[in-house]
Chains A and B, each alone.
Chain A
């Protein structure tokens, strides 16, 4: 899949929460967005942020073909992402796009796939859910957060499929972590997970016990984003592989996690 270095114009910067923003971007030259697949990411050059030397990899949250917009969900984690989150609309932002691989489709359409997200890990699941729906699958979502106010983009997810919620404090949905949710009584064709590693490990373990295939999206610290520097490696059954190139989506059977 061809990769591009492109300038984008920031068309909208919407605060979702103290810690998260939704950025909408369109190619600065007005050209159509290049083809991008669910699960892929962009590598953003953070402008005017002297402490941010490297680009910041961010998952593709959604591609709005009608408006020619790319959506990114950004958590204000450090200097670079805080700076990005504070960018005013009309800013020009340079990105290398699209990077990484994509999710695998479930083998069957009559059983629903379950997309499990925790925190900002919900980001890649929106575009993937939309794509699954478009292809005739009936995706369901299981979203986890500390509390109700930490749940992101609920309306967007609800427009695609059934949404199950787990909050640590019980302020919305079922109380507890995602793996304690009653939705696991059902069977699913495929489990996809993105979120903090302990959550993904727990989900992978759940999927394994139900003998359901499971893919996770990893976010190891990266430098180049194109498989050149070998910094972001994950240990797999095939040895160390680059999360930026061979991933970020991995079948949990490929990983050496204790599940």
Chain B
């Protein structure tokens, strides 16, 4: 068995496979299907300062090799999380990371402060890339100054590992990554969903209540891979790659492009046990190719 350990901004993961926020609930929803302690980490549902009802139904539309969602950060708020959900998940033997979102900088800061007080949460993933909310979310993640300002403010109050989740809905994702690195982010994760839409031609209506939504699934993988590769050339902090990963081979491609770890999202809906298959598949690949450690293949893409 190869050494699968990786490090993300001071956080030691038993392997590079995590679950993407919004696709794995709080982990417990999948406890019947897999041994959660096998995961490198679980990024739980996007959490905001106050409870959010999310967008009206319909919130999902299937697309060729993917899906659109417009959930809109439905959650019961960070205090509910700390009081009612955290006690149920804190003893899972993997890193539980909270995805934090907000409508304004003060919200991000207040939420991060509450999460920082929870001893079993070693990291947050700052969501500056949600395409499904009117205020905040992606608005911060689509400009260098916006991204930098949120990270700077949260960095002041959050001493543990700070991951920043980037939006692909930008002209140059590498510049945004550099901007958050400069403000002290420990890691960047990319990509969040791509803005898209779907129409029912017969009824002449949009399929989502919000008209536009976020595209995920296998169809976004080439875009995500390209962005990870670009960001890997722009920053020194570790990258967590995600976007359409549905197999060990997909995950390995992200590692080769420069990601130190990966997240699996939409594929959890199709195979609720996909994560452990990816972990085992990475191990097999490393053994087959004679690599002692998964870190040996990070950024090992051979060009020309």
A residues contacting B by CB (< 8 A) are: 2-5, 45, 50-55, 96, 220-235, 239-240, 245
Given contacts A54-B270, A223-B69, A224-B269, contact A3 B32 (CB under 8 A): yes
B69 near A228 (CB under 8 angstroms)? no
- Please pick, from A224, A233, A234, A235, the residue contacting B268 in the complex, using a CB distance under 8 A: A224
A55 near B270 (CB under 8 angstroms)? yes
1/0 per residue B19-30: CB within 8 Å of A? 000111100011
1/0 per residue B44-71: CB within 8 Å of A? 0100000001101111111111110101
- Please pick, from A227, A229, A232, the residue contacting B22 in the complex, using a CB distance under 8 A: A229
Interface size on B, residues (CB 8 A): 35
- Please pick, from B54, B59, B62, B268, the residue contacting A228 in the complex, using a CB distance under 8 A: B268
- Please pick, from A54, A221, A228, A229, the residue contacting B58 in the complex, using a CB distance under 8 A: A221
Query: A226 to B268, alpha carbons, bound, how many Å?
Result: 10
A53 near B270 (CB under 8 angstroms)? yes
Residues of A near B45 (CB, < 8 A) are: 230
Among residues of B, the one whose C-beta sits closest to the C-beta of A228 is B25
Closest 10 pairs between A and B when the two form their complex, measured CB to CB = A231-B60, A228-B25, A3-B32, A224-B269, A228-B29, A226-B29, A223-B269, A230-B71, A231-B59, A230-B74
Residues of B near A54 (CB, < 8 A) are: 62, 67, 269-270
Residue B89 at the chain A interface, CB threshold 8 Å: no
Residue B218 at the chain A interface, CB threshold 8 Å: yes
Query: A220 to B59, alpha carbons, bound, how many Å?
Result: 10
A240 near B270 (CB under 8 angstroms)? no
- Please pick, from A5, A226, A233, the residue contacting B25 in the complex, using a CB distance under 8 A: A226
A4 near B58 (CB under 8 angstroms)? no
Query: A53 to B57, alpha carbons, bound, how many Å?
Result: 20
Query: A239 to B52, alpha carbons, bound, how many Å?
Result: 10
Residues of B near A96 (CB, < 8 A) are: 33, 272
Residue B16 at the chain A interface, CB threshold 8 Å: no
Residues of B near A239 (CB, < 8 A) are: 53
- Please pick, from A50, A226, A230, the residue contacting B30 in the complex, using a CB distance under 8 A: A226
- Please pick, from A3, A229, A234, the residue contacting B33 in the complex, using a CB distance under 8 A: A3
Q: Shortest CB–CB separation between residue B223 and chain A, in angstroms?
A: 17
Among residues of A, the one whose C-beta sits closest to the C-beta of B218 is A53
Residues of B near A234 (CB, < 8 A) are: 57
A–B complex contacts, Cβ < 8 Å, 26 sampled: A3-B32, A45-B270, A50-B64, A52-B62, A53-B62, A53-B67, A53-B217, A54-B62, A54-B269, A55-B269, A96-B272, A223-B60, A223-B269, A224-B29, A226-B29, A226-B272, A228-B22, A228-B24, A229-B22, A229-B71, A231-B60, A231-B69, A231-B71, A232-B60, A233-B59, A235-B56
A233 near B272 (CB under 8 angstroms)? no
Residue B235 at the chain A interface, CB threshold 8 Å: no
Residues of A near B266 (CB, < 8 A) are: 223
A220 near B57 (CB under 8 angstroms)? yes
A53 near B32 (CB under 8 angstroms)? no
